[in-house]
Every structure is written in C-alpha cells, then in structure tokens.
Amino acid sequence: MNSIPIDQLKNKTNAGLQIKIFSRDDSYDNLPGFAHRDDHYIFFLLKSGSGSLKIDSQDVVIGGGSLYYILPSQVHYRIQVDKAEGWFLAIDPSLILPGLREAFERGPDLQLPCKLSDDELKQFAVLLDLLHEEFVNRQGAKYYLQIIHSLLQSFLAMSASIYDKVEKVPHTDNRSAELTRQFKELLTAHVQTIKSPSMYASMLNVSTGYLNEVIKKVTGSTVSYWIGQELFIEAKRLLNHTDAGVKEIAHQLGYSDQAYFIRSFRKMAGSSPLKYKKLTKK
C-alpha cells in the first residue's frame, strides 16, 4: 500500500449524512480495521460505556457522556468499544458552515473528548434520536433532505458551542500545526478568488515549497489538493442550497472554463454537477 486509504462518504449515502445508534451488543467488523482517512467528519457521542481509538499516532479514550469528532484529514483506526451505547455520525464537510468548521478546526492540538453535563447529554439525546428516526423512516418522502439537514445543523451548532467553551491549551512548539490552521482559515475565506499555492504562501510569509512540505506533513495531502477540496465543498454547497446553474456556479468559483469545472467535479464526486444536483434533490 503506497498511500493511506480514504473512506468516501459518497459510497454509502447520497444524503451527505449517516447516523447510527449503537448498543453494547453491536459488532463493528463492517468498519475499516486498518489505518485510513475519511473525506468527511465523524462524530461520536457516547451515552454510556467507553471507547478508544488511535488517531494521528495518539491514543484517545472516550468516556460515557462524552462528545468527540474526527477531522477529514486525520489518520485513525476503527474505534474499540467497551459496553458502549450512543450515536455515530458521518457528515459531508459541505454541510458544515464555515463558522462552525472554524470551531472544530481552529486548535493546533489534537481535539479532546468533551464531557457533557447531564442536561447537555439529555438535550443531545433527544435531538439525535429524532434525527435518527427521520433519517431512517422518512427516506423518499418530500422534504427529506431539508428535514434531516435542518436537524443536523442544530446538532453541529450545539457541538460547536460545547467545544467553544473548552479552554484551549497553549501550544508553543507546534509551528507546523499552527501554519496548517492559518492556511485553512485563509483557504476558507479566499478560495473563490485565490487558487495559487504561491499566493497562499506569500500571505503566510513562507516559501511555496515550505508551505507544501508542512501541509503534506500534517495532513498527508498537498496545498493543491486542499485548494481543490475546498472548491469541491463550496461547489456542493451551491448545488445543494441554491438554484444556480452549473455555468453560474463555475463562474462564482472562479472557473473561466466551465468544461474544466465539470471535469474537476466529476473526478471528485464520481458524477457530473448536474447529476449530483438531481441525486441530492430527490
């Protein structure tokens, strides 16, 4: 294996979201047991029991009543659980608004499990049970995506609020992680107008070669990859949530060649923008 495998959400759902309830007796043999990345966020909320996993070469233990998430770029193994009950969510990055993504991605340190109060756990439980019920039972119904995506936004906003209250521990010896955070912030803000790695390097006062070396070391992928990924996420947002046509979206994203935009999107999504839009509007 010459590269780290990437688990793709599009192979599992067209809704941009998966939610599962797990109990003490569940088996996780269907999840990848090898080191891999996801092209999506993963959230765990453990109601009881405990879980552990290795993520970016560090061991993380998640206790009962705790919330935890994995970022798309992080390398991890399958979670190991001990009498655990709770919820698992896989979420397409395009469904996470930039302001909320900042709450989850701003820290240079590995994110830690967040212990919830009893009241917070009850609130999350009510919301996630409702989201799971709608996700499973309303498939094929009119406004299905609007309903589950609205409930998902409530979950994400509540989760961001929880993590926003967590005190950030200063990290004085992690220049690479901090540079990566700054790059991703600039990328989110400027990707529609700036697509050149050298321009981002200039904005960060480093050389293009150094920026690329750092980003690849921290995330496993190049600066150009993340520029393309951010454009892809924004394209999916526009296709999902606006009535703009493919030509207009290509223009909004700064593509002078519509055909090139379509080819790039097909390479990332496995389908054309128009076909993707039709699938997500069902």
pLDDT digits (tens, 9 = 90+) for 101-135: 878 876 545 688 999 999 999 999 999 999 999 99
Q: Which of 142, 164, 186 is the last residue of a domain?
A: 164
CA distances in angstroms from 203 to 162, 173, 218, listed in the order given: 32, 22, 19
Q: Say what the pLDDT of residue 3 is.
A: 56
| Run of H or E including 43 | strand 41-55
Q: Are residues 33 and 84 in the same domain?
A: yes
Q: Say what the pLDDT of residue 1 is.
A: 42
Q: Which of 18-21's residues contact partners 24+ apart within 8 Å by CB, and which partners?
A: 18/88, 18/89, 18/90, 19/87, 19/88, 19/89, 19/128, 19/131, 19/132, 19/135, 20/87, 20/88, 20/89, 20/132, 21/86, 21/87, 21/88, 21/128, 21/129, 21/132
Q: Are residues 70 and 100 in the same domain?
A: yes
158 within a domain of the structure (yes/no): yes
Number of separate domains in the chain:
2
Q: How far apart are CA 104 and CA 204, in angstroms?
A: 21
Q: Are residues 153 and 70 in the same domain?
A: yes
Q: How far apart are CA 248 and CA 245, in angstroms?
A: 5
Q: Are residues 248 and 124 in the same domain?
A: no
Mean pLDDT of 184-211: 91
Q: Say what the pLDDT of residue 56 is.
A: 67
Whether the per-residue pLDDT at 223 is higher than 60: the answer is yes
Q: Over the stretch 73-92, which tens digit does the pLDDT of each residue have?
A: 677 888 887 888 999 999 99
Q: Say what the pLDDT of residue 271 is.
A: 87
170 within a domain of the structure (yes/no): no
Q: Say what the pLDDT of residue 136 is.
A: 95
CA distances in angstroms from 36 to 31, 50, 71, 107, 222, listed in the order given: 11, 22, 12, 22, 17
72 within a domain of the structure (yes/no): yes
Q: Are residues 154 and 192 in the same domain?
A: no
